[in-house]
Amino acid sequence: MPPHRTQAPIEVVIVGAGPIGQGVAAAVARRRGLVLAAVVDVDPAKVGTQVAGVSVRRELPPPADEPRVAVLTTTSSLAKLESQVLDCLDRGMAVVSTCEELAWPWGAPEPARRIDEAARHAGRAVLGTGVNPGFVMDALPLALTAPCLRVDAVRVERVQDAASRRLPFQDKVGVGREPTEVQAALDAQRVGHVGLRESAALVATTLGLVTDAFVETRRVVVADAAIERAGRRVERGQALGVEQLGRATRAGQVMVELVFRATFGEAQSYDRVLIEGEPRLDVRIEGGVPGDVATCAIVANAVPVVAAAPGGLHTMADLPLIVGAAAPG
């Protein structure tokens, strides 16, 4: 393979003009090798507005001569995503989506099988990714096992200070609300992180760690004293945030353990990956990988790889390395 491959820029169609869709559009517009071709949203309030210099349209654009990649940022539910993916494949587009359930779609085998078949038939690749699931708790720990003679277990901790994040993130983890109310929302997966199950399944399956159970526990972290940060005050007894623990086990033994903790005033933000095996590896990212920026970046960075991949439904574990890029020019 020669060292420099010159390629025509890849056209990208963003579907879903919410905050993540807008962020991906901006990332695509700036990234070397990509061109923002269209932004699509069904919301009449968004149609006609400008996103990264492109006017939002209501419908997918007609099939183009150039191969295109669609980025779907519309839903966390694979059941809801399926028809959107099939529409894109019908128009000859490969697909990258931030839908959490698509990161490891085989937990819902029927939609996964139908998408896989349609993607193979269309000769286009489909991938679910994002910062998490997609990177911190799956692609990154998997990449870190390359130098291991044997992997016995994987543990990932993602700990974030919600006070340093924007308000929608603080809302997403229940900051300042009534703890019982947050616990109910957390149990119903209306707040908190979605994707521990998908990350655990992707890691375990890829490494051949056989598991027979997955249990996720979710709890609200409550302020035992009033705390003030960045102009916001949380009172004693209010929710500071959430802690979620996902464990994939075999006969009670932990094979994959994933900890997500995001609280207002958390002492330190960091990501940590522990590979138990030969050798044992202990890897720490000080400050952690910032969530929203990273999701937009990883989706944009996935586009060239997905555009070139064979037809079918992929995961982060079976595609070539997804990498960032220097600024153009």
Q: How far is the CB of 27 from a copy of itself (least distance, A)?
A: 5
- Decide if residue 321 touches a copy of itself (CB under 8 A): yes
Build a one-symbol-per-residue string for 40-79: x at contacts with a copy of itself by CB under 8 A, - elsewhere: ----------------------------------------
The smaller minimum CB distance to a copy of itself, of residues 31 and 68, is found at 31
Q: How far is the CB of 329 from a copy of itself (least distance, A)?
A: 9
Where in 124-163 is the site for a copy of itself (CB under 8 A)?
A: 131, 135, 139-140, 142-152
Cα dist from 94 to 12, 91, 294, 305, 316, whole Å:
10, 9, 21, 10, 15
Cα of first residue to Cα of last residue in the chain, in angstroms, is 24
Give the start-end residues of each E strand in 84-142: 93-97, 125-128
Q: How far is the CB of 173 from a copy of itself (least distance, A)?
A: 20
Task: Specify whether the CB–CB gap between 230 and 127 falls below 8 A.
Answer: no
Query: CA 247, CA 268: separation in Å to the nearest integer?
Result: 23
Q: How far is the CB of 134 from a copy of itself (least distance, A)?
A: 9
Q: How far is the CB of 187 from a copy of itself (least distance, A)?
A: 28
Query: CA 125, CA 308: separation in Å to the nearest integer?
Result: 8
- Decide if residue 315 touches a copy of itself (CB under 8 A): yes
Build a one-symbol-per-residue string for 112-131: x at contacts with a copy of itself by CB under 8 A, - elsewhere: ----x--------------x
Query: CA 246, CA 260: separation in Å to the nearest integer?
Result: 9
Which residues lie across from 158 on neighbouring strands? 260, 271
Task: Specify whether the CB–CB gap between 67 and 307 falls below 8 A.
Answer: yes
Task: Specify whether the CB–CB gap between 288 and 270 falls below 8 A.
Answer: yes
Interacting residues with a copy of itself (CB under 8 A): 1-4, 27, 30-32, 106, 116, 131, 135, 139-140, 142-152, 205-210, 275, 277-279, 281-287, 289-290, 293-298, 300-302, 312-327
